[in-house]
Structure 1
Amino acid sequence: MRALYEFFSGGGMVRAAMRDEWNCLFANDISEKKAAAYTANWGGEHLKIKNITDIKPIDLPGRADLAWASFPCQDLSLAGNGVGLNGERSGTFWAFWKLMMALKKEGRNPSLIALENVYGTLTSHDGKDFESIVRAIVAGGYRLGAMVIDAARFLPQSRPRLFIVAVNANVAVPEQLLASGPSKTWHPSGLVHAFESMPKRLQSRWIWWDLPLPVDKPKELKDLIEDNPKDVQWHTKEETKRLCSMMTPINRLKVDRAIEQASQTGEQVVGTIYRRMRQGLQRAEARFDGVSGCLRTPSGGSSLQTIIVINQKIVRSRLLSRREAARLMGLDDDYKLPERYSEAYHLTGDGVAVPVVNHLAQHIFNPIIDTIKAIELADEAA
């Protein structure tokens, strides 16, 4: 079976995406609370709860085919503090990379390395942070490519994220995985600009991954909503009115149109609301396009996401439930969530969308590793 190391593992959403086809040899996170959720779902015998700077090669058993690292985004986020890879949190990339290079000295570095982070990674410090990551990967003996994948292609959540996939330079990548140039689907202008801004030496080690579109149409937000969640209460009429009073005329018009739609069709209309600071005022911004806003952790200063549900002309609102947040990340309903609301919301908001990881596995990771193993078997037979 293919083998995986999962760094910055959180609640094990990469594990959730790959559990049937990959064996996780090692997982790591610094958070005791997230580790508790990981253990509840996947067991803890292979989990190390410590700072990645304290992880040593001896802690990593065997040799993994893939090392996945969703390193912290706070210092790279467009809404963050701007310190980038020099920051205490996002700078943990360097500790991860040091570990990968230590494994290389032992002859057991992974054939594949995947990194996931926010879109702001491309523009942090005018692109210098992204170039630094690419430079380190190339110097480490890998070729690489990147994609910006929005979870909205798989789930009813707007969640664009940068995915960097690096492959050992000695590995022959199957031709069907390679594109001749960028695609509009996975390689937006910001990524293309970042590539074109790099030195030619780094460009020569670049791969334009040819990733197919998902076959299945994603569910809509209304399909994931609980009728009677136990962990959140419906707002009072007064609270809902106050929330609507915080809207600009444009956003209030969205609500009015949703009420009209519900009245005409007799069907329930579901949307989401985020409260944001706009020009010194707190505003409520609504959307009714069948997709939720990006789940964010409140530690970054964002408000919790609110659900607005309209039946006929009755408008109700409440916070997103724990299970709804998990569904928006693609977690099955049998996934065990923390009992405390804040811990569950933090766990999911910090995670990676499960079907996105699975899509990468099916169309990039699995074919490459299977090709490597087939060649190894043929060499052994010879």
Structure 2
Amino acid sequence: MLARTPSDDAHDCPARVFRGRSEPAPSTPPSTPSSTPSPAPALSAFPRSPAICPAYAQRDASVSGSSPGKPAPSRTIGRVTAALASVPGITSLPSGQALFEVAEFFAGIGLARLGLESGGFKVTWANDLDAQKRDMYKGHFADPEDHYILRDIREIADDIRSPLAPRRADLAWASFPCTDLSLAGGRSGLAGEHSSTFWNFTDVVAAMGDRDGETPAVIALENVNGFATSHKGADMKAAVERLNKLGYWADVVTLDARRFVPQSRPRLFVVASRLPKPLADERRDTELRPSWLDRALDDESIDTHRTLLPEPPPLRGAGWTDLVDADDDPSVEWWDAERVAHFESQLSGINKARVEQLGREPEPSYRTAYRRTRGGVPAWEIRDGDVAGCLRTARGGSSKQAVVRMQKGEPLRVRWMTAREYAKLMGAPEYALPAKRNQAIMGFGDAVCVDAVAWLARHYLQPLLTGTLRPEPLPGQQTVSA
């Protein structure tokens, strides 16, 4: 059953080292009206690239003058569309070809990159301020030395013409710090010490526009669901106002990693674009846009849009056991009997009953557990079901997730989750792990699920850039068929 509340699993967002600035809400352009949608067009999954739709090419002629605050569509998109249109018989791109270039802000260990590059994108520049995450990124990807820039984002806008600055890009991706937006982070919002780096990111986007003559055609933000409700929606409104001022309309969706992997990890994605608006979804309370997003999307003082998208996969109810490392894997370190006994002593009645029930099964059962403090008393809570809890970083004992093994005729066994299990639950089973376990836990616990990003890239970002999401008609026009 889909949860209808913007839960973040309470403590799922650690403090990052980024520090930014606060900004008052800027003035807003009027909202753009939408047209009545028709059924959603079929979308092919990458790497079988979808056909290039002539819709943007036809609309480009109508908007070539570009109204104030609404830059013309990206020259990259125009070149691609024109090149394909000039070749008789060409209706699709070569299979697996990366069309669009990405500047990846707050890149961490590069899991957003893995998702984007499975969906038709190529990350050409990345930035973060955490040296250990940079080391993990460089240990996994084979990039030129100047690909990943270890630098404070506040310095980038003021030095936009530096060789270290982001290159021209079609997509700017930003997984900016969630610390001040999470339920566990004090909820200071976009004025907070860490999450205020959103404003610094938009400063860089504006500087890229001044330098290149155009800003990236699409912006994608990733954060916790609490972004939408922080300060009763005022932070989301201020963020959209800033994007509007830069010439973008904005859409907001929520997507749980549990739709792809056995981990509960709901996240919010804001897709902003200065391209023509695709066909609108007039429905309410959907899987991607539950009713708690209405405040953000129905505010007529800001320019938002609900793009008609395919339904995401259903939430998974199992699968964790299939990902567990083998009991005799060298990285698995089971606790000794004394430590397990202490673990059992900190189980509540309902959790002891859960252990006893699963301990009567002939096949081994694996569950994840967190250590909580209830009424000042530490206690272990075992998840009910074959799905892991939201992965976190290794800061503090309550942030670590334990693995509990139960089987008939066998003693209870407990251990910490391995780095490889973290990688599997984040959709990156083959990621090159560092030697230090805690470094890996910090990197994966502070990242975004690869599969969630891949779904967004394949079904929203790439079709938006190629024009295969049918655009809404201009006044006096009929919708162009894909």
Both proteins in one fold, TM over 0.5: yes
Asked if structure 1 preserves the Cα contact closer than 8 Å seen for 2:113 and 2:123, the reply is yes
- 2:185 and 2:455 map into 1 onto residues whose CA distance is 29
Other structure's SS at 2:222 match: strand
Secondary structure in structure 2 of the residue aligned to 1:24: strand
Q: Distance in 2 between matches of 1:77 and 1:270?
A: 29
Which secondary structure does the structure 1 equivalent of 2:231 belong to? coil
Tell me what 1:248 maps to.
348
Q: 1:95 — aligned with what?
A: 200
SS in 2 for 1:238: helix
Does 1:201 find its partner at 2:301?
yes
- Higher helix proportion, which one? 1
Please report how far the alpha carbon of residue 300 of structure 1 lies from its aligned counterpart in structure 2 after TM superposition.
Answer: 7.1
Moved more, 363-372 or 138-147: 363-372
Cα separation, partners in 2 of 1:215 and 1:282, compared to 1, 3 Å: closer
Task: Pick which of 210-219 and 140-149 moved more.
Answer: 210-219
**Structure 1 length as normaliser, TM-score?**
0.89
1:82-119 CA distances to partner (integer Å, 9 max, x unpaired)?
A: 32211221111110011111222332311111111111
Residue type at the aligned position of 1:35 = R
Please state if 1:318 is matched with 2:420.
Answer: no
Identify the match of residue 26 of structure 1 among 105, 125, 130. 125
| Cα separation, 1, equivalents of 2:396 and 2:460 | 32
Q: Indicate the structure (1 or 2) with the bigger Cα radius of gyration.
A: 2
Q: How does 1:21-60 map to 2 (within 5 A)?
A: 21-45=120-144, 46-55=147-156, 56-58=159-161, 59-60=164-165
8 A Cα contact 2:320 2:387, kept in partner: yes
**Aligned residue in 2 for 1:380:** none
Higher relative contact order (CA 8 A, sep 6+): 2
Aligned residues: 363
- Secondary structure class of the residue paired with 1:309: strand
Equivalent AA in structure 2 for residue 189 of structure 1 = S
TM-score when normalising by structure 2: 0.71
Q: CA deviation at 1:61?
A: 5.1
8 A Cα contact 1:214 1:359, kept in partner:
no
1:345 pairs with 2:345 = no
**Identity %, equivalent residues:** 36
| 1:283 pairs with one of 369, 379, 399 | 379
The verdict on how the C-alpha distance between 1:330 and 1:219 changes in structure 2, with shifts beyond 3 A counting, is farther
- 1:84 aligned residue (171, 189, 208): 189
Partner amino acid, structure 1, of 2:138 = T
Any conservation in 2 of the 1:258–1:288 contact (CA below 8 Å)?
Answer: no
1:7 paired residue number: 105
Number of the residue aligned with 2:3? none
* 2:274 is the counterpart of 1:185: no
- In the alignment, is the contact (CA less than 8 A) between 1:174 and 1:367 conserved in 2? no
2:392 matched residue in structure 1: 296
Answer yes or no: is the 8 Å Cα contact 1:75–1:90 preserved in 2: yes
Distance 1:69 1:280, change over 3 A: same
Unaligned runs of 5+ in 1: 376-382
What root-mean-square deviation, in Å, do the aligned CA atoms of Structure 1 and Structure 2 show?
Answer: 2.3
Gaps of 5+ in 2: 1-98, 472-482
What is the aligned counterpart of 2:254 among 142, 148, 172? 148
Residue type at the aligned position of 2:154: T
**Kept after mapping to 1: 8 A contact 2:250/2:273:** yes
CA-to-partner distance for each residue in 1:287-310, whole Å, 9 max, x for gaps? 141100100113377331000111
CA–CA separation in structure 2 for the residues paired with 1:33 and 1:39: 10
Inter-partner Cα distance in structure 1 for 2:178 and 2:366: 30
Three-state SS of the structure 1 residue aligned to 2:230 is: coil
Q: SS state of the match for residue 135, structure 2? A: helix
Partner Cα separation in structure 1 for residue 366 and residue 386 of structure 2: 7
Taking the aligned partners of 1:252 and 1:209, their CA distance within structure 2 comes to 46
CA contact (8 A) 2:257 2:264 kept: yes
Could you say what secondary structure the match of 2:395 adopts? Answer: helix
In the alignment, the residues of structure 2 paired with residue 225 and residue 301 of structure 1 have an alpha-carbon distance, to the nearest angstrom, of 21
**Aligned ranges 1:124-143 → 2 under 5 Å:** 124-143=230-249
Q: Is the 8 A contact 1:212 1:363 kept in 2?
A: no
Closer/same/farther in 2, CA of residues 218 and 23 from structure 1, 3 Å limit: farther
Letter in 2 for 1:280: G
Runs of 4 or more, structure 1, over 6 Å off, are 215-219
Structure 1's 52 and 43: CA in aligned 2 closer, same or farther, altered over 3 A? Answer: farther
Q: Counterpart amino acid of 1:352?
A: V
Between structures 1 and 2, the one with greater strand share: 1
Corresponding residue number in structure 2 for 1:159: 265
Structure 1 residues 342 and 140, CA gap change in structure 2 (3 angstroms): same
Determine the C-alpha separation between the residues in 2 that align with 1:216 and 1:92.
32
1:207 Cα offset (Å): 2.5
SS at match of 2:341: helix
CA contact under 8 A between 1:75 and 1:82: conserved in structure 2?
yes
Note if contact 2:125-2:167 (Cα within 8 Å) is conserved in structure 1. no
Paired position in structure 1 for 2:75:
none
Which residue of 209, 215, 218 maps to 1:112? 218
